[in-house]
Amino acid sequence: MSHGASAEAVIRYLDSEAQRPLKAKELARALDVDAGDYPEFRDFLGRLVDDGVLYRARNQRYALPQRINLVVGDLQVIRSGAGFVLVEGGPDVFIPVAGLASAVDGDRVVARVERRRQGDRPEGVVIKVLERARQTVVGIYHPARSFGFVVPEDQKLTKDIFIPPGQSMTAADGDVVLVRVLTWGDAHRGPTGEVERVLGRLGDPGVDVLAVAYGHELPLDFPPEVVQAAERVRDRGIPAGDLEGRRDLRGQLIFTIDPAAARDHDDALSIRRDEDGLWEVGIHIADVAHYVEEAGVIDQEAFRRGTSVYLVDRVISMLPEALSNDICSLRPHEDRLTFTLVVKLDDDAEVRGQELFRSVIRSAHRLSYQDAQAVMDGQRSISEETDDSLRALQSLSRKLRAKRAKRGSIDFDLPEARVILNTAGEPTDIQKVLRLEAHRLIEDFMILANEVVDREARRRKLPFIHRVHEAPDPSRVEQLRNFLAGLGLKIPQLPGPKDVQRAVARFEGRPEESLVSTVVLRSMKQAHYSEKPLGHFGLATDHYAHFTSPIRRYSDLVVHRLLARAVIAGDKLEDELRTEYLPAVARHTSRRERVAMEAERDSVDLKKVEFMQGHAGGVFDGTVSGVTSFGLFVLLDRYFVEGLIRMSALGDDYYVFVEEQFALIGEHRRRRFRLGDRLRVRVESVDLERRQVDFALEAQLQQQEDGSGRKASN
Q: How confident is the model at residue 702 (pLDDT cuts 50, 70, 90)?
A: low
Q: How confident is the model at residue 17 (pLDDT cuts 50, 70, 90)?
A: confident
User: What pLDDT does 35 receive?
Assistant: 86
CA distances from 530 to 466, 468, 469 (A): 5, 7, 10
Higher-confidence position of 690 and 699: 699
User: What pLDDT does 638 receive?
Assistant: 87
Provide the residue type at 318 as one letter: M
Edge-to-edge strands of the sheet including 55-56?
A: 22-23, 61-63, 55-56
Higher-confidence position of 196 and 521: 196
Q: What is the three-state SS of 580-626?
A: HHHHHHHHHHHHHHHHHHHHHHHHHHHHHHHHHHHHCCCEEEEEEEE
| Spatial CA neighbour of 133 closest among 691, 599, 606, 529 | 599
Instruction: Please give the share of the chain, as a percent, with pLDDT higher than 90.
Output: 69
CA distances from 541 to 467, 603, 623, 697 (A): 11, 33, 33, 44
Cα–chain-centroid distance for residue 667?
A: 39
User: What pLDDT does 2 receive?
Assistant: 57
User: What pLDDT does 714 receive?
Assistant: 32
What integer best gives the mean pLDDT of the chain? 91
User: What pLDDT does 703 receive?
Assistant: 53
| Spatial CA neighbour of 534 closest among 87, 64, 150 | 87
Higher-confidence position of 78 and 402: 402
Alpha-carbon radius of gyration of the chain = 27
| Spatial CA neighbour of 710 closest among 513, 518, 520, 516 | 513
Q: How far apart are CA 510 and CA 710, in angstroms?
A: 7
Instruction: Please give the share of the chain, as a percent, with pLDDT higher than 70.
Output: 97
Which residues have C-beta within 8 Å of that of residue 90, sequence separation ≥ 6? 66, 71
Statement: residue 46 has pLDDT above 80: yes
| Spatial CA neighbour of 111 closest among 80, 81, 76 | 76
Q: How far apart are CA 1 and CA 501, in angstroms?
A: 47
pLDDT (mean) for 245-271: 96
| Core vs surface per residue 386-402: b (16+ CB within 10 A) or e | beebbeebbebbebbbe
Task: State the DSSP H helix or E strand holding residue 45, giving kind and residue range, or none if neither.
Answer: helix 38-50
Q: Which phi-psi region, left, alpha or beta, contains residue 301 (left: φ > 0; alpha: ψ -120 to 50)?
A: alpha
Statement: residue 173 has pLDDT above 70: yes
| Spatial CA neighbour of 139 closest among 123, 121, 163 | 163
Instruction: Tell me the per-residue pLDDT of 540-581, one tens digit each, with 9 for 90 and over.
Output: 999 999 999 999 999 999 999 999 999 999 999 998 899 889
User: What pLDDT does 514 receive?
Assistant: 74
Do 695 and 683 form a contact (C-beta atoms < 8 A)? yes
| Spatial CA neighbour of 298 closest among 322, 282, 278, 269 | 322
Task: State the DSSP H helix or E strand holding residue 356, giving kind and residue range, or none if neither.
Answer: strand 351-362
What backbone torsions phi and psi does residue 682 show, to the nearest 5 degrees?
-115, 140
Please compute, for residue 157, the number of CA atoms within 13 A of its CA located in the half-sphere on the CB side. Answer: 24
User: What pLDDT does 53 receive?
Assistant: 87
pLDDT (mean) for 323-345: 98
CA distances from 326 to 173, 238, 314, 364, 657 (A): 44, 12, 18, 16, 54
Statement: residue 110 has pLDDT above 80: yes
User: What pLDDT does 303 receive?
Assistant: 98
Which residues have C-beta within 8 Å of that of residue 708, sequence separation ≥ 6? none
Provide the residue type at 192 as one letter: T
Which residues have C-beta within 8 Å of that of residue 275, sequence separation ≥ 6? none
Instruction: Tell me the per-residue pLDDT of 291-309, one tens digit each, with 9 for 90 and over.
Output: 999 999 999 999 999 999 9
Domains of the chain: 7-66 (1.10.10.10), 69-131 (2.40.50.140), 136-202 (2.40.50.700), 224-466+543-602 (no CATH), 616-713 (2.40.50.140)
Instruction: Give me the helices (H) in 349-425, please.
Output: 369-376, 384-407
Statement: residue 273 has pLDDT above 90: yes
Q: How far apart are CA 186 and CA 248, in angstroms?
A: 61
Instruction: Tell me the per-residue pLDDT of 610-626, one tens digit each, with 9 for 90 and over.
Output: 999 999 999 999 989 88
DSSP 299: H
* DSSP track, 434-445: P--HHHHHHHHH
Cα–chain-centroid distance for residue 117?
A: 30
Instruction: Tell me the per-residue pLDDT of 399-452, one tens digit each, with 9 for 90 and over.
Output: 999 999 999 999 876 678 889 999 888 899 988 888 899 999 999 999 999 999
User: What pLDDT does 4 receive?
Assistant: 63
Q: How confident is the model at residue 712 (pLDDT cuts 50, 70, 90)?
A: very low
Q: How confident is the model at residue 50 (pLDDT cuts 50, 70, 90)?
A: confident
Q: How confident is the model at residue 118 (pLDDT cuts 50, 70, 90)?
A: low
